[in-house]
Amino acid sequence: MKRSYPEPMTMGLGCIVCSLRTRMPVTMAWSTPGAALLATTGAAAGGFAGAVGAFAVCGVLLALCGAVPWLEKLVERIPAALASAMLAGILLTICAKPFIDLPRAPWQIGCVLLASLVATAFARRWAVLAALAAALVVMGVDGAFSRTGATTLAPHLEFVTPHLDATAMVAIALPLFLVTMTSQNLPGVAVLASFGYRLGLRKPLLYTGAAGVAGSVAGAHAINLAAISAALAAGPEAHPHRDRRWIAGVACGVVYVALAPASAAVVAVALVAPQGLLAAVAAVALFGTFAAAAASALEPVATREAAAVTLVVAGSGVTLVASALPSGV
């Protein structure tokens, strides 16, 4: 499925508005587990118009969920140590990825890691930019940019009239709603809580639901609170003082909006990057956040064992519950 204009645009506006209103580093993202779910479904009943109708219904469900008052109270009851442990477990898999991929692309990934280490020693704040610059140089040497065609870089926008199909509602809308809530929105709130931010779910869900309905006609499947990437803006790397990190949320939104017209080019370049290269850059950006989350999770003695179990389970990559879809959908 091609990435569309509305997703980065609505994500960016959501980051800006929510961060300004709450003075918290609220960031948004498209539903990554939702995209993975759609990639395994095959052709939807009713064709692409049927899928678009399902995307719109998913947005309606998210907005309705924002009107449920007990959901906020349930999320607020999650202990901060367990939220930090869940974040640390998720980040562990990402931070370990470059070292797992290192034997397959030793010099490419090695250059990124080396650039990060050197920058960390002399100017820690520039470590991620140094890693990104190294990745771009590696891609140039590897000839990755020459593998992107002009047609894949050109932006385009197409509107599709939604078609409401009962089968698509059951096979796409409901599972998409469930994975977006359980794998993105709830963990996103937990990640912010691990850094001391108590964000209510009502307003973000109302916004993401409405934005999902509006963007569905251009093929946008769902947007939500950022989960893993939320740590980038909420962590100490964004700003030493916690009450100033909301600026990072606004900055994320501005970049999203600015890159929206170039989203096709960004995706095209990412697709031709050597295996594990961009994952290495992401890992470098999250090393500090992983360390802070792990330390915060294991600090309270009363919840240390529960936090350790949470960290191990989250880092294991095991899926205990999955959405089942009708075969042939």
Query: For 86-135, how does the pLDDT look when each residue is reduced to its tens digit (9 = 90+)?
Result: 778 878 888 999 999 999 999 999 999 999 999 988 888 788 899 999 99
User: Token match 């692409």: residue?
Assistant: 48
Confidence of residue 328 (pLDDT cuts 50, 70, 90): very low
- The sign of the torsion formed by the CA atoms of 124, 125, 128, 130 equals negative
List C-alpha distances in Å: 170 to 182, 185, 310. Answer: 17, 21, 32
Nearest to 161 by CA among 300, 55, 45: 55
49 phi/psi in degrees, rounded to 5: -60, -35
What's the confidence (pLDDT) of residue 1? Answer: 42
What percent of the chain clears pLDDT 70, i.e. is strictly above it?
Answer: 86
* Mean pLDDT value of segment 30-40: 70
What's the confidence (pLDDT) of residue 45? Answer: 67
**pLDDT of 72 higher than 80:** no
Question: 319 exposed, middle or buried (CB, 10 Å; 0-12, 13-18, 19+)?
Answer: exposed
**pLDDT of 329 higher than 50:** no
**pLDDT of 311 higher than 80:** yes
**Alpha-carbon span 170 to 282, nearest angstrom:** 35
- Virtual CA dihedral for 143, 273, 289, 238, nearest 10 degrees? 70
**pLDDT of 151 higher than 70:** no
3-state helix, strand, coil in the chain (%, to 5): 70, 0, 30
Across-strand partners of 132? none
Using only C-alpha atoms, the chain has a radius of gyration, in whole angstroms, of: 20
Q: What is the pLDDT of residues 243-289, one digit of tens each?
A: 999 999 999 999 999 888 877 777 777 778 888 898 899 888 888 87
What's the confidence (pLDDT) of residue 327? Answer: 36
What's the confidence (pLDDT) of residue 289? Answer: 77
Greater model confidence, 221 or 26: 26
Kindly report the number of other CB atoms within 10 A of residue 283's CB atom. 25
User: Token match 């001391």: residue?
Assistant: 196
Q: What is the pLDDT of residues 167-222, one digit of tens each?
A: 888 888 888 888 788 778 888 888 898 888 988 888 899 999 999 898 888 778 88
Kindly report the number of other CB atoms within 10 A of residue 132's CB atom. 18
* Mean pLDDT value of segment 231-245: 88
What's the confidence (pLDDT) of residue 326? Answer: 40
Q: Which amino acid is at 198?
A: R
What SS3 state is found at 245?
coil
